[in-house]
Amino acid sequence: MGKKFIRILLGILVLVLIVFSVLYILDHSKMKSGEEVVFSTWGKKYAPKEKLVPEDKNNPKLNNDFNIVLSLKDKVSNNSAC
């Protein structure tokens, strides 16, 4: 029984190692191409590329108008949240 148990345990460990290796390879290839990863970022700094939505002036949901603050000395507008 001892040898059979060791073989089963080694088989399970090898199977787990193969699964994690495949996940690692898949995630790294997706990170290189900028896609979202399946399992994890594996401790690497990564952010998927975001798709830009084309601006359409007639559709208010796609209107991307915003103000850029160039310095902290700029005046706060009256319609701010504060």
Own/partner pairs, 61-67, CB within 8 angstroms, 24+ separation: none
Q: What is the DSSP letter of 13?
A: H
Contacts of 75 (CB under 8 A, 6+ apart): none
With beta carbons less than 8 A apart as the criterion, state whether 54 and 67 touch.
no
pTM reported for the whole predicted model? 0.51
8-20: pLDDT as tens digits: 999 999 999 999 9
By the 10 Å C-beta count (0-12 exposed, 13-18 middle, 19+ buried), 27 is classed as: buried
40-60: pLDDT as tens digits: 777 777 777 776 666 555 655
